[in-house]
Amino acid sequence: KTLGLVTTSLALHAPSQIAAAVKKYAGEQGYQVLIAMIDDASDSSIQAAINELKSQRVERVFVNAPLETPVAESLVDENPDVLCLFLDVDPYSSVFNVTFNPAEGARASVKHLYDLGHRQFCLLSGPEDSVPARLRLNTWRDTLASYQLNPLAVHHGQWDAQSGYLATLQMLRETPQATALLIANDQMALGALSALHQQKRKIPQDISLIGYDDTYESAFFEPALTTVAIDFDLQGKMAVQQLLQSVDSPQTLRASTILPSRLVVRNSAG
Ligand code: IPT
| Residue-wise pLDDT tens digits, 15-54 | 999 999 999 999 999 999 999 999 888 889 999 999 999 9
Ligand 1 atom with minimal separation from the 232 CA: 14
The tens digit of pLDDT for each residue in 49-95 reads 999 999 999 999 999 999 999 999 999 999 999 999 999 999 999 99
> Atom 3 of ligand 1 has which residue's CA nearest to it?
213
Q: For ligand 1, pick from 88, 125, 256 the residue to mutate: most ligand atoms within 8 Å of CB.
A: 88
* Phi, psi dihedrals of residue 70, rounded to the nearest 5°: -60, -35
Q: How far does the centroid of ligand 1 lie from the alpha carbon of residue 68, in Å?
A: 14
- Ligand 1: distance of its center to the CA of 159 in Å? 8
Taking CA atoms only, the protein residue closest to ligand 1 atom 2 is 14
Residue 196 burial by CB count (10 A; 0-12/13-18/19+): exposed, middle or buried? buried
CA distance 162 to 106: 23
Query: Which among 234, 224, 225 has a CA at the least distance from the CA of 101?
Result: 234
From ligand 1's centre to the CA of 41, what distance in Å?
A: 12
H-run or E-run covering 227: strand 226-230
Classify the C-alpha dihedral 159-152-218-201 as positive or negative: positive
Atom number, ligand 1, closest to the C-alpha of residue 18: 14
The three-class DSSP label of residue 254 is helix
Kindly state if the Cβ of 163 falls inside 6 Å of ligand 1: no
pLDDT given for residue 250 in this prediction: 58
Render each residue's pLDDT in the chain as its tens digit; 270 residues.
Answer: 999 999 999 999 999 999 999 999 999 999 999 999 998 888 899 999 999 999 999 999 999 999 999 999 999 999 999 999 999 999 999 999 999 999 999 999 999 999 999 999 999 999 999 999 999 999 999 999 999 999 999 999 999 999 999 999 999 999 999 999 999 999 999 999 999 999 999 999 999 999 999 999 999 999 999 999 999 999 999 999 999 988 666 555 778 999 999 999 999 999
Using a 6 Å cutoff on CB, does residue 132 contact ligand 1? yes
User: Can you name the residues that pair with 256 across neighbouring β-strands?
Assistant: 97
Nearest atom within ligand 1 for CA of residue 102:
15
Peptide bond into 260 cis (omega under 30): no
CB 185 less than 6 A from any atom of ligand 1: yes
Ligand 1 midpoint to CA 2 (Å): 25
Contact 214/189 with Cβ under 8 angstroms?
no
Report if pTM > 0.90: yes
- Ligand 1, atom nearest to 65 Cα: 11
With beta carbons less than 8 A apart as the criterion, state whether 8 and 67 touch. no
Judge whether 72 and 86 are in contact, CB under 8 Å.
yes
141 CA distance to ligand 1 middle (Å): 19
Phi, psi of 84 (to 5 degrees): -105, 130
Burial label for 199, CB within 10 Å (0-12, 13-18, 19+), is middle
Q: Are 121 and 97 in contact (CB under 8 A)?
A: no
How close is the Cα of 132 to the center of ligand 1, in Å? 7
Residue nearest to atom 13 of ligand 1 (CA): 88
Judge if the beta carbon of residue 66 lies within 6 A of ligand 1.
yes
